[in-house]
Structure 1
Amino acid sequence: MTLTVALLICSASPSCPALCACTYGNSGIAEFRLVQCSDSGIAAVPINVPADTVKLRLEKTLISRVPRAAFYNLSELRFLWLTFNSITSIHPSSFVNLKALRELRLDGNLLTSFPWEGLRDMPRLRTLGLHNNRLSSLPAHASLFLPNITFLDLSSNRLTILPAELLDLWIFSQDLESKTVLDLGLHDNPWLCDCQISMVTSLSMLLGSPVVLMDQQLICSRSLGQSGMLLTQAELSRCMRPSVQPAATRVISPLGSNVILRCDATGYPTPTLTWIKTSAKKLYNQIMQESPRVGVRWSIISMNGLSYKDAGEYRCQARNMAGISEAPIKLKVVGVTRISRLPKKSQKTPPKSSSKYRKPNQSTVTTAPSVKENQIPQNITPPSINKTQPAPNLVSKVDPVDKRRKMNLRYAKKKTPTSLKSTPQSPEN
């Protein structure tokens, strides 16, 4: 029983890490635990920090790296200060399980890069301080993890340019009339003073802008002939929205042939080109080429063995920090469709005579019955014959000696009667 009570007491009041000070602060609502480690003898992140710590400060130590899941047990941590140490690397998974973290400061270290994808483990993070490090570039994918940041300090680094994706993020938030304002620190960097950095300063001066610079005094340190000059005094080239010109707006190509679609774009900075087809399920070979002149670029896509699925509308999209433009190109595929089975030939039937236009004394016969020789059809009534006059024979006997009658007989065999006239005639006539 005594051992159980002792364990509960130890777990309720955890010990403070060595060379650290553990106190309680007051936030106005409730007290919270504060742990501060600022001894020069500390060379690694302490692993026995109390789990209920709300604010952790590791300052002026010999810590050079932040390992994976270094603060996993600190799920209630809201403030993490790792300032003025000797940190050169941070593992991408160092901030796992910091769901409540609001503020992360890494000022005064030796960082040449920062794991931006690690911000996904801190969904409530609003303040990120990277002042006084050795960052020389910002990757384009950093913009994917910064929408919720309201304070970003990148001052006193070695940055020269900003990626266009960051500018698109801030300009897009302005178009949405977002109420979130970003305090951005860019001063004390060797900026290449061109259209990009000029657009950031112009954006920050707009009324209701989503970006506010902490210091407007940006110095051009790498511009040709403008080194050491303030950005506001430099004569910068103005940004120009891309203009797209396709080689043809409508292309008609036969089935199974090869076709090439091309478009040219101009703008400053030099735009990037992308081909878009919403219903496309196949990859097309895209070739992009930049002209020797600044601000000009062209691109082509080639399609071999055209099918009907390739037909449709293609959009050539040009994009730079000043905006987006696109031009449509309609592709039509023509050809002969093969029929797997030919239709059967229709048998010709003689037209049926309508009873409406039939003559009064004319009989309608749909099919001509075959009449044998020396035989009168039974379905036709013979005409009336005078009683005093004998009925003539329709077919007379043939004399085998008479050649003339043989010829008449042969002629009668070849001709098949279809109908009998109203007045029969003797064979002699």
Structure 2
Amino acid sequence: MYLLIWAQIFCSVLVVRCCPPLCSCTFGYNGLAELRSVQCSDPGITAVPINVPADTVKLRLEKSLISKVPRAAFYNLAQLRFLWLTYNLVASVHPSSFVNLKALRELRLDGNLLTSFPWEGLRDMPRLQTLGLHNNRLSSIPAHASVFLPNITYLDLSSNRLTMLPAELLDLWFPLLVTHCFGHAGLHDNPWLCDCQISMVTTLSMSVGSPVVLMDQLLMCSRSLVESGMLLLTQAQLSRCMRPSVQPAATRVVSPLGSNVILRCDATGYPTPTLTWIKSSASTDCCREAMLDSDQLPRNLESFMQESPRVGVRWSVISLNGLSYKDAGEYRCQARNMAGISEAPIKLKVVGITRMGKLPRRKSQKTTSKSSLKYGKPFKTGSPSAKENQVLQNIRSPSPNKTQTVSILAPRVPKDPSRKTSLPDVKRKTSASTSVKPSGPSPTGPASETIE
């Protein structure tokens, strides 16, 4: 009796060296250290044991009545490399169940009742390579699951209720397998919708030198685009995926400032691609103050329209009204489907309105008339004023006293006693400078008169 009590006390103090109740412990040797393996397979176990030795490398909880995996259930097992929770009644797994499992390489949850799996919990297992979810009740895989699968090279999703694979899984996880140079996926025994997604997987797995290997090539489909219940034997039975092809209506558009412009692109592919518009760069040949900050680019544009007139074809337009210099730059029309991404650039240049040269200012009518009469070089663009009409009338009908006309039209010449100018010479110069040839019928005619 005393020996049993002392044994329990000893195990409670040195828990690292004791095996939990209803479990068995075995030891192995890898040449460097002794490795502990713990197996708990008793039907009487209803919860995850909390007193598993900390030096455990492999833990197997199998064929028990465990129904859930709580938070931090294995926190003290920092050296754990293999964790098997197979063929239990596990229906829920807390997202933080695997905290501190930095060394875990293999996690198996086969043969349980899981309808969902906390994919974000994989962040706590950075070295995990094998994930087994065979024979559960998973009906879908969220799109974000692929983000947490960077190191997974073996993923078993067979014998579930899956109908489709998310496109992100094909876009992100499968390319990572190329980096690892190998990968295995179990997809058989699911009610797949036989479409382009499954076609891509089978094509990839059957290609020569492919890093992706399906554990079972014969995938049964419950539904298909053509018929139901077909067996995936050959690629000819499926619709082939086609990478999108983008064709813009114009690759370069020049439009004036303040105008309206429509940019359009057409895309083909299977499945029918979706289109998005991206402003990727600002103009470099317009006003510096109107250019966009480079930190704001690229950015997705939301105000656009797209339609699909038939399967495999889609077009989209973006309307820009009242163009400013900020609208100039490069626009990318991007088409995406599960087969890939394609895009085409369209460069938009906004040009300003060219300013016309300034017309020469009009001189006042009074100044024009005086200078014209003085220097004999008339330039008149408007109708003559009343005063000018009176002057022109006096010139056309000169009075007998010509010296009066000279006094009106010619400047006064001061008398110089040392210089004698004969009156006929003055009269000749005056008449030469004041002679007028009207070009209109009357003094009040058009202003296109020329004074010679």
- Shared fold per TM-score greater than 0.5: yes
2:243 to 241, 244, 249: 241
**Which residue number corresponds to residue 189 of structure 1?**
190
**Which residue number corresponds to residue 156 of structure 2?**
153
1:266 to 268, 285, 288: 268
SS of residue matched to 2:413: helix
**Which residue number corresponds to residue 211 of structure 1?**
212
Q: Structure 1 residues 407, 300: closer, same or farther in 2, change over 3 A?
A: closer
SS of residue matched to 1:172: helix
Note if contact 2:66-2:90 (Cα within 8 Å) is conserved in structure 1.
yes
Q: Equivalents in 2 of 1:321, 1:91: separation in Å? A: 31
Give runs of aligned pairs for residues 357-396 of structure 1, distance below 5 A: none
Which runs of 5 or more residues in structure 2 are unaligned? 1-8, 282-296, 362-402, 423-452
Q: Equivalents in 2 of 1:23, 1:87: separation in Å? A: 25
Matched, 1:93 2:110: no
2:340 to 314, 323, 327: 323
SS of residue matched to 1:142: helix
Instruction: Select between 8-17 and 273-282 the one with higher mean Cα deviation.
Output: 8-17
Q: Equivalents in 1 of 2:227, 2:263: separation in Å? A: 42
**Which residue number corresponds to residue 43 of structure 2?**
40
SS of residue matched to 1:143: helix
Which runs of 5 or more residues in structure 1 are unaligned? 1-5, 346-402, 418-423
Residue 288 of structure 1: CA displacement? 5.4
1:426 to 416, 419, 438: 419
Q: Structure 1 residues 89, 238: closer, same or farther in 2, change over 3 A?
A: same
Give runs of aligned pairs for residues 21-420 of structure 1, distance below 5 A: 21-169=24-172, 172-173=175-176, 178-223=179-224, 226-233=227-234, 235-279=237-281, 280=297, 284-287=301-304, 289-291=306-308, 293-303=310-320, 305-336=322-353, 411-412=412-413
Note if contact 2:199-2:239 (Cα within 8 Å) is conserved in structure 1.
no
Q: Structure 1 residues 127, 172: closer, same or farther in 2, change over 3 A?
A: closer
After superposition, the C-alpha distances for 1:49-100 in whole angstroms (9 at most, x for unaligned) are 2222111111122222222222222111111111111122222222121110
Q: Structure 1 residues 199, 172: closer, same or farther in 2, change over 3 A?
A: same
Note if contact 1:135-1:157 (Cα within 8 Å) is conserved in structure 2.
yes
Normalized against structure 2, the TM-score is what? 0.69
Note if contact 1:173-1:210 (Cα within 8 Å) is conserved in structure 2.
no
SS of residue matched to 1:199: helix
Note if contact 1:127-1:150 (Cα within 8 Å) is conserved in structure 2.
yes
Q: Equivalents in 1 of 2:27, 2:249: separation in Å? A: 71
Q: Structure 1 residues 427, 202: closer, same or farther in 2, change over 3 A?
A: same
Q: Equivalents in 2 of 1:47, 1:304: separation in Å? A: 67
Moved over 6 A (4+): 6-9, 406-410
Counterpart of 2:238, as a letter, is: L
Q: Structure 1 residues 55, 216: closer, same or farther in 2, change over 3 A?
A: same
After superposition, the C-alpha distances for 1:220-273 in whole angstroms (9 at most, x for unaligned) are 221256433321256222222212222333333343455443322121111122
Q: Equivalents in 2 of 1:304, 1:54: separation in Å? A: 67
Note if contact 1:21-1:37 (Cα within 8 Å) is conserved in structure 2.
yes
After superposition, the C-alpha distances for 1:158-196 in whole angstroms (9 at most, x for unaligned) are 11122222223366357xx63520011111111112222
Note if contact 1:170-1:211 (Cα within 8 Å) is conserved in structure 2.
no
Identity across the alignment (%): 75
The CA RMSD measured in Å over matched residues stands at: 3.4
Q: Equivalents in 1 of 2:53, 2:258: separation in Å? A: 71
Normalized against structure 1, the TM-score is what? 0.72
